[in-house]
Amino acid sequence: MTSLSNTPWDELEIGMEAEIRRICRADDFFVFANITGNMNPKHFPRMKDLEGDDALQEPVAPAMWVSTLVASAVGNKLPGPGTLYKSHNVEFFERAHAGDELVIRVRVTDKLDNHVARLACRVDTTEGKKLLRGCVEVYVPLERMDYQAEEIPGLIVHKHVHFDKLLAEAEPLPPIRTAVVAPETDDSLLGALLAFDHTIINPILIGDEARIHAAAKAVDRDISGFELIHEPNQRMAAALGVRLVHENRAQAVMKGNLHTDDLLGQVVKREGGLRIGRRLSHVFVMDVPGLTHLLLISDAAINIAPDLETKLDITQNAIDLAHSLGIAEPKVGILSAVETVTTKIPSTLDAAAISKMAERGQIKGALGAGPLAMDNAINIGAARTKGIRSMVAGQADILIAPNLESANMLAKELTFIAHAEAGGLVIGAKCPVILTSRADGHKARLVSCAVAALHAHRGQFL
């Protein structure tokens, strides 16, 4: 809680001064854009469409955002709480950029009629760059006010920098030939086409030819240059996609508009499927606003109630994918409802066993800890409050859920409540299997393809 006090009219004197400091952050500029509707790309980072020196600069602070900082000096410091604006007249000089620290100063120059005061204002960087000069006129409160400022609601800027990084890493790689099964709706087709546009995949379209052409027409795309194999039976189309992998004509399989069971039924067949000995599992790769790293969650789509042996494969699959995504030694949190081992909750026993196996090298390439509840797996403050100290607690890169229901709910809560973006991949097969949902947006489908391409290249499938 912040304590604020004002200087009422009778105590205000000419020559009084106040100062505040503020560091420019790119997130501030995104918030300002949402408030004002000013979408000038000069104010945003990662200006991909600009060329020359402008493309390399930190984003420029909007001048009007800089001027609003004067209001914080007036409203918080001098005259302080209870002050209301009458006029604001400023001139701008040099520009501030993200990362600059600004010094905002105000000084009382005149006391006018009707309890109006005029204050000179200036804003500079701590390095001496002159940004703003001007004056404001304000209505000064008549009575003293001591104000305890309650915590105001925080803001999270919904940006997905981790996914942007994955796309940037995948695009320079040779595109992987991908059997896209039943891309017979505009969404399922467009996801594959967007990945082609980003040079991530070369799609082979398998399904009902008429429906695929209708979907292409709906999204106004010409697909005459793509290989298209007519197979109206979706189960047979899935079998054909698997066969293309065995024939080395495809390096990945992507789900279009068909039931997951129809696709995976062909993938897991003992004869002619894509199994390689380990249990298959699904991994959500999530970009959660406010989280400083990617978050992998498994298994949310295939293994309903996995036993300990299956959980070991689920865990190793997720670790292998994390390696492909550039996480050299991922931290794996084995989840349960509590962080203590108890026979009353069987998942705590599995978690403890997996944690010990990771410690002894039976699970390779990661640090593991469990059982962990969700709070102390992902929040280091919660872990310390409960006295849990490990290299994993509070900073897990991978979350292994007790069962399919809990993993699925966790991933979808992050997507639809916390505004995370999610990509999905089936791991443990002869090749990556891109398993998207009908509810997925274009970005999720595109990132799923990028994850598949990175895993195909770095996981030594090719």
Output the pLDDT for position 41: 79
pLDDT tens for 393-431 read: 889 999 999 999 999 999 999 988 888 889 889 999 999
Handedness of CA 76, 80, 84, 89 (dihedral sign): negative
Output the pLDDT for position 57: 52
Q: Which of 39-53, 140-154, 387-401, 433-447 has the lowest average pLDDT?
A: 39-53
Per-residue pLDDT at 53 exceeds 50: no
Using a 10 angstrom Cβ sphere, with 0-12 exposed, 13-18 middle and 19 or more buried, the burial of residue 61 is buried
CATH code of domain 280-428:
3.40.718.10
State the pTM of this model.
0.72
Q: Residue 27: in which H helix or E strand, if any? A: helix 26-36
Output the pLDDT for position 220: 93
Q: How far is CA 461 from CA 124, 285, 324, 329, 454, in A?
A: 55, 19, 11, 21, 10
User: Would you say domain 2-149 falls under CATH 3.10.129.10?
Assistant: yes
Output the pLDDT for position 253: 95
Per-residue pLDDT at 47 exceeds 60: no
Q: pLDDT band at residue 441, thresholds of 50, 70 and 90?
A: confident
Cβ-contact 279, 425 below 8 angstroms: no
Q: What angle do CA 192, 426, 238 make, to 5 degrees?
A: 60
Query: How many residues are present in the chain?
Result: 462
Alpha carbon of residue 186 to chain centroid: 25
Output the pLDDT for position 462: 52
Using a 10 angstrom Cβ sphere, with 0-12 exposed, 13-18 middle and 19 or more buried, the burial of residue 44 is middle
pLDDT tens for 326-364 read: 999 999 999 999 988 999 999 999 999 999 998 888 888
pLDDT tens for 76-99 read: 999 999 999 999 999 999 998 888
Beta bridge partners of 134: 90, 121
Per DSSP, helices labelled H in 325-441 are 346-359, 374-378, 380-385, 404-416
Q: Which two tokens stand for residue 213?
A: 């052409």
What mean pLDDT is predicted for residues 132-153? Answer: 85
Fold agreement (2-149, 280-428): no
Q: pLDDT band at residue 277, thresholds of 50, 70 and 90?
A: confident
Output the pLDDT for position 55: 40
Three-class DSSP category at 247: coil
CA distance 105 to 273: 70
Q: pLDDT band at residue 50, thresholds of 50, 70 and 90?
A: very low
Q: pLDDT band at residue 157, thresholds of 50, 70 and 90?
A: low
Cβ-contact 325, 341 below 8 angstroms: no
Per-residue pLDDT at 110 exceeds 80: yes
What mean pLDDT is predicted for residues 69-74? Answer: 93
Q: Where are the domains of the chain?
A: 2-149, 280-428
Q: pLDDT band at residue 28, thresholds of 50, 70 and 90?
A: confident
CA distance 369 to 229: 47
Q: Which residues contact 1 (CB under 8 A, 6 or more apart)?
A: 148, 149, 150, 151
316: closest CA among 276, 345, 347, 348?
276
